[in-house]
Amino acid sequence: FGDDYSAEEVAEKLSALGEVQHVNLNRTIRRAYNAGKKAMPLTREALAAMQRATRAAGDTGYPFNDELLPMQWHLINRGNLFGEKSIVDADVQCEEAWKSSTGDKSIIVAVLDEGVMVEHPDLKNNMWVNEGEVYRSKQDNDGNGYKGDVYGYNFVFDTGVISWDDVSDTGHGTHVAGVIAAQNNNGIGISSIAGGNADIPGVKIMSCQIFSGNDATSGAITTSAEAIKYAADNGAAIIQCSFGSKAGAYTSDSAYERGSGVQYNAIKYFIESQNCDAVGGGVVIFAAGNDATAMSGYPGAYHDYISVTSFSPDYLPAYYTNYGPGCNISAPGGDYKISADAAKTYAEVLSTVPSELSEYNGADYGFMQGTSMACPHVSGVAALGLSYALEKGKKFTLDEFKTMILTSVNDMETYLDGSKTGLVLADYRKKMGTGSIDAYQLLMQVEGTPCLRAKVGTKQLVALTKYFGGSASNLTYLRVEMTRENMDKLGITEAPSISYGKLMIHCTKPGVAKISVTAIAGGGSVGGGSSMGGQEITKEFAVIARATENANGGWL
């Protein structure tokens, strides 16, 4: 409209017309990463250095044969890559979770980002494919309103041809997709959270391209709204959104609804869509933002969406992460500042990149950091949870499933003391969300197996009241059963027992394991035959042993 009137003034004048029902501003959204900043490609030198660190630590026995898995601290952190700044279990706890599920091909995650390299060797088998369409076709073969949308759609240029090789592209969409669903156990590259197992396919990636290089049409509110509606109409159960407004641009939900109404309504439409039999609606996951500000950026801050903050291999907040109001949960996002200069990129997230970008010199993998990298970790864990729910025949309301995600966490608060690279860690207390996402705990919640939390290195009594009722301390307990294999997982040398109506357990190393407790309901002996007595009841638990544990059991 030129310089005479602002967009807001024009909207106000149009709103006064009787013919106009409502006016929305087509604002520009920001990527939750630096446009134009490329990933750091994985060089041969970097690979050799990380392999030496792994060998020096005697680190073996990974669950998949993907060459780069030992370097993916964000999936399995054994504390061996960054010296004292690498904390065991500062990851998303995939290793045990993969024993229950590696993903289900019916779960579709829509990646709203730069285009995903659909031909990447570690992604091509886990791309969503619209069987009714022909790639690069100029006809709408399946009648869904979009031409040639085989792997998703390029909403920037209104074409079914996904792009990832613009001179100003960063490879970010490809990097995000790799965290969620790179093919697991295929002998090459990286592992992912929900990428299947060898010939067993994982969850599917739908590329909804809303950014392309520095094109002026990238990132418009209307572009994202159309992409969100497309995801809902074409089967996506989760939208992965590493974008948003700068922290402070909106400071309330109502302000966001007014200022970004078309996007808000598109997300509402997605939430109300039923694309997975395991959950009653669409799951919406956003990055909290990289402004190092004490609030989440919107849309992530909106109360119906999950907003993800970022931590590093040291289990501390990343220097760039937003925190505070609107932030719901934390996940690995990386932080190059915690590493020595010679290896600074190692502390970022390692994932897939488009080798066709000239800066990558043919490399298929590289490092990035940001809440935009933390976000797909939560999307991947959510996809894994839905996959397992389908396998178990479980169905949850959307609120139930989101609650399960946000309570499947480990304590971070104990670490928030002192300082880190100029950060006053006390400023982050109770502001990073409920804790760090834990894939295994989510799967146990889906399964219906309760989790008992224990602190490593302390012989302790764990209350059973929550699981055996208010009179748990008065019950007669018959036995506690834990296999030697499960005891070894937690470094338990003395068999767990019942003392004063509580479980006595001593874990010497972090991990997870199964245990069962059998009691008598109604009397001091079991009834049957010529005797009168109670009924034998058995409950199975997952014991979660961590180096630290909140006194209140993880609730912040």
Can you give the pLDDT at residue 555?
34
Where residue 24 falls among pLDDT bands split at 50, 70, 90?
Answer: confident
pLDDT at residue 552 in the model: 43
537 vs 453: CA distance, rounded Å: 22
pLDDT at position 54 is 67
DSSP 309-345: EEE-TTSSB-TT---STT--EEEE---GGGS-GGGGG
Tens-digit pLDDT profile for residues 388-425: 999 999 999 999 999 999 999 998 988 898 888 789 99
* Contact present, 541 and 448 (Cβ < 8 Å): no
Sequence-distant contacts of 460-463: CB under 8 A, at least 24 apart: 460/504, 460/505, 460/506, 461/499, 461/500, 461/502, 461/503, 461/504, 462/502, 462/503, 462/505, 463/502
284-332 pLDDT, tens digit per residue, is 999 999 999 999 999 999 999 999 999 999 999 999 999 999 999 999 9
Say if residue 25's pLDDT is above 90: no
Looking at 56-60, 468-472, 515-519, which range is the least confident one? 56-60
Q: Is the pLDDT of residue 155 over 90?
A: yes
The pLDDT confidence band at residue 42, using thresholds 50, 70 and 90, is: confident
Per-residue pLDDT of 173-219, as tens digits, reads 999 999 999 999 999 999 999 999 999 999 999 999 999 987 655 67
Residue 493 banded pLDDT, cuts 50, 70, 90:
very high
Share of the chain above pLDDT 90, in %: 69
Q: How confident is the model at residue 43 (pLDDT cuts 50, 70, 90)?
A: confident
Mean pLDDT of the chain: 90
| pLDDT tens-digit series, residues 230-282 | 999 999 999 999 999 999 999 999 999 988 999 999 999 999 999 999 999 99
Report the pLDDT value the prediction gives residue 264, as an integer from 0 to 100. 95
What was the pLDDT predicted at 553?
A: 41
Question: If pLDDT is split at 50, 70 and 90, which confidence band does 534 have?
Answer: confident
Backbone phi, then psi, for 550, in 5-degree steps?
A: -65, 145
List the beta bridge partners of residue 538. Answer: 518
Q: Pull the structure tokens for residue 407.
A: 């309570």
Residue 464, class by beta-carbon neighbours within 10 Å (0-12 exposed, 13-18 middle, 19+ buried)?
buried
User: What tens digit of pLDDT does each residue of 71-123 get?
Assistant: 999 999 988 888 778 888 999 999 999 999 999 999 999 999 999 999 999 99
Instruction: Look up tokens 């939208």; give the residue.
Output: 239
Q: Where are the alpha helices (DSSP H) in 74-170?
A: 94-97
Those residues with Cβ within 8 angstroms of residue 551's Cβ, 6 or more apart along the chain or in another chain: none
Q: What is the pLDDT of residues 5-21, one digit of tens each?
A: 888 889 888 989 999 98
